[in-house]
Structure 1
Amino acid sequence: MGGSLQPAGACETIKERVPEYAYLPPGTKGYLREKVEKALKTAKYVSVRLRDGSIVYRLLMQSAMSVPMMVEEEFEWKWLFKYKAEVSFDMMPFFATGGVAAPIPFLSNEKPHGTERRRSRNPFPPGAKVGALRRPDVIIVESEAILWPGRGTVDREGGHHANNMLRLVEVKFPGDNWGPGQEEAYRAISGDFKNRMTVIDVTDCNGDLQKIPKPAPIPAPKTNDEKDRQTVPIRSVPAVPHHVWYEDWWQKAHEFGEEVEHAVAPVWDAVHRGYSYVSAETSAFLHQHAAWMFTAGQWVADKAHSAWVWVDEKGHEIFRYTAAQLKAGWEAIVQMTDMTWDVLTHIDWAQVGVTLLKGAAIAVAIVVGVAIVILLLPELIAIFAALCAIIAAGAEAAAGLAAALGVVLGGGSAVAALAAS
């Protein structure tokens, strides 16, 4: 049976590498296996249409595994959670001291419980240096009551902490190999890696990645009455009172194969039906809060009224945001995600990734070729899509938007260099 942990020759979905590294801490293997098995049932890769019209293929199993952990950490456990997916670490202290000082997790400015800062959600945090930024798959902490996820005792701003790292976990899906310097960096982050680091080899026991896709017409959006949708394994107390699903586009690679014409467009791209790859529930939400997505057109600055207007191909106004609305939305996005203008302007593609939860929406974005997870309030998805669409309109539009948002431009971009390092 796929996913069984029986030792006598049965297939194991997740298997810890030994003797190089440690076994998982007691009581954690079942939780991680659940996330891995669900991720295996999403598309091995999906073809996406970037804002310049090009088509790329991206492996998204890692994002599918991270999404439920991030939801639980922020929305269900208010950051006081044992499992922390994709924590960004600064390797510079380790390099500068010849391996004496521990790499340091990047922190947000937000203090959800009064005094202690939470970890940053920005995958390209300000201050990161090329070649010195690492994001392990999962950090398991000693005490979920402490927000600090590192083993070092001093943060990047000089604040003091207690060692709170129980285990660094790296998950290797089929076809996922170590990148240059990755294994050595993760050993440095964990410190005593033989006891604090676990590397999991994932086996596709159920053959989910071997199914031969057959091209087919784009189906109608699915509703919550259909039983074949992949649910997101959200664990909380009290339990989430309704099913939460991965959106339909996760399965497009299985349904359509490598048909370029079926590449998933970004949610804001009405011309290429970027809204047609989501469920009926999410589509209805977008119709209500972002009607402009469903009409081909473009954003135009209305300087006389300090607004941005979505104008259709016949010149009719469909929707408008005031500069004040966009600025307030951007500030809320920054507070929730730690996003910077540099990251926003490098988003090539984004889609709603999970059926909208009560109080939370999950988007998956591609930033300079790197897939990242973005958690927002549902009402911010529309603002987020509008910001991306305005930036996609060109350099002049992006500069005007920056002025409206109060963003000070200057200096070069670090995101592209960090993504390539």
Structure 2
Amino acid sequence: MAPQMIPVDTTVTIREDIPKYVRLPHQAMGYLEEKIRSAMWWPEVLRVQRPDGLVGTSLLKQIAMSAAIRADERKHEFCWRYKAEVSFDMRPWITSRHAKAPIPFLSKSDGDTPGRRHSQNPFPLPGSLAGDVRRPDVVIVENEGNRWPGRGTVDHDGMAQWPNLLRLVEVKFPGDTWGENQERDYLGIAGDNRHMTVLKVSGGEERAKAMVEAAIAAGFLGKVAGRLLLRARLRSKIPVPQAAWQQIRQQTDLTVQQLRQIDWGQVCITMSGGMAVVVLVIDGVLVPVVLTQALVGALAALVAITATAGDAALMAALTSPPNFSFTSNGSHDEFFP
């Protein structure tokens, strides 16, 4: 099968690059093309300070694409055909010949009830080794009314599931390459090459540079000491009580330990249809989460509490009845270097 070239704009091309994999399902290219175009103006690589002092790199274009898809998922209560960065447990599939398929991690915010969405937690398996968890860029499901994103028939709680994975899509932006055993594991998630598509994005450097310069001129982006900063304005007149942590946990699947690991000095916020897409830095990894705008202020307050409170004080703040509120009148800026 000959590779297909589809122009995104005058300088960007998306290719279904590897002929051994299949083309995208009908209409999927249009949807993903829109998300890729919106992500192309972001810088290619961001250097992130890790807890051990080392500096890691993250591909911002992929994060931006995932964030846009997750916003759509949230708006449709996760009954959506496209699912970004679903985490799959690879251990049973790698270690046992009898395992049918890697198992997607589901949210625990509603216990073990049927019909749960996939977990938004980027670290669903504490203490896992490299390769134990895989997060493909996009999973396209057969039935959007079924939240299960896997091809297997049983989840981690032993509950029966109906196979629903139509296509695994890996998007390779400039600078992205296959990691060790990544392609093998993604084929395991997809089932075979008839259920997997690889898109390669190239070009767009001049357009991205022009868009960044225009954003700087408009005051949306700024430069400080040679560093590119993204500014987001937060406006909320709704008091947000301490007990909002329960809502944040339900929407993000984050744990108290991960709340402590958030570096609020490296956070990007964008607004979309009444929702806030927040890119957090947790343990040196960029993580996109989607919250109601009112809860962004609560999250900022909770992160501030974790920076100064001990374990006992933090747990008391998260579990006690509300006795104060965080209110933002007007606006203030958060920056993402």
Bucket of the pairwise TM-score, normalised by the shorter protein:
0.7 to 0.9
Q: CA deviation at 1:97?
A: 1.0
SS of residue in 1 equivalent to 2:288: strand
Name the residue aligned to 2:85: 86
| 2:273 partner amino acid | L
Residue of 215, 225, 231 corresponding to 1:277: 231
Q: Which one has more relative contact order, counting CA pairs under 8 Å at least 6 apart?
A: 2
Query: What's the TM-score once normalised by structure 2's chain length?
Result: 0.80
Summarize the Cα distance change of 1:181–1:49 in structure 2 as closer, same or farther, 3 Å threshold.
closer
SS of residue in 1 equivalent to 2:203: coil
Name the residue aligned to 2:186: 186
**Distance across 2 between alignment mates of 1:66 and 1:213:** 20
Contact 1:390 1:397 in 2 (8 A): no
Q: CA deviation at 1:351?
A: 2.8
| 1:355 partner amino acid | M
Summarize the Cα distance change of 1:49–1:263 in structure 2 as closer, same or farther, 3 Å threshold.
farther
Name the residue aligned to 1:405: 318
Give CA-to-partner distance per residue, 1:74-114, whole Å, 9 cap, x none: 11x221110001111111120231374310000013569x8
Q: CA deviation at 1:127?
A: 5.8
Identity of aligned residues (%): 39
Structure-to-structure mapping, 1:124-163, within 5 angstroms: 124-126=123-125, 129-131=128-130, 132-163=132-163
**Distance across 1 between alignment mates of 2:277 and 2:126:** 26
Give CA-to-partner distance per residue, 1:227-272, whole Å, 9 cap, x none: xxxxxxxxxxxxxxxxxxxxx35xx5xxx4xx646464xxxxxxxx
Q: CA deviation at 1:69?
A: 1.1
Structure-to-structure mapping, 1:7-406, within 5 angstroms: 13-46=13-46, 58-75=58-75, 77-98=76-97, 100-110=99-109, 115-126=114-125, 129-131=128-130, 132-192=132-192, 194-205=193-204, 207-209=206-208, 221=219, 248-249=220-221, 252=222, 256=223, 260=225, 262=227, 264=229, 277-278=231-232, 282-283=233-234, 285=235, 288=237, 325-326=241-242, 328-349=243-264, 350-355=266-271, 357-358=273-274, 360-393=275-308, 396-406=309-319
| 1:13 partner amino acid | T
* Structure index of larger Rg: 1
Note the residue ranges of structure 2 that are not aligned, 5 or more in a row: 321-337
Q: CA deviation at 1:220?
A: 7.3
Contact 1:352 1:361 in 2 (8 A): no
Aligned length: 312
Note the residue ranges of structure 1 that are not aligned, 5 or more in a row: 222-247, 265-275, 291-320, 408-421
Q: CA deviation at 1:60?
A: 1.1
SS of residue in 2 equivalent to 1:345: helix
Contact 2:5 2:14 in 1 (8 A): no
| 2:65 partner amino acid | M
| 1:37 partner amino acid | R
SS of residue in 2 equivalent to 1:13: strand
Name the residue aligned to 1:271: none
Summarize the Cα distance change of 1:144–1:356 in structure 2 as closer, same or farther, 3 Å threshold.
closer
Query: What's the TM-score once normalised by structure 1's chain length?
Result: 0.65
Give CA-to-partner distance per residue, 1:33-84, whole Å, 9 cap, x none: 1111111112324567889999876431111111221111111x22111000
Name the residue aligned to 2:6: 5
| 1:392 partner amino acid | A
Summarize the Cα distance change of 1:56–1:148 in structure 2 as closer, same or farther, 3 Å threshold.
closer
**Distance across 2 between alignment mates of 1:46 and 1:206:** 15
**Distance across 1 between alignment mates of 2:211 and 2:56:** 20
| 1:78 partner amino acid | E
Contact 2:6 2:15 in 1 (8 A): no
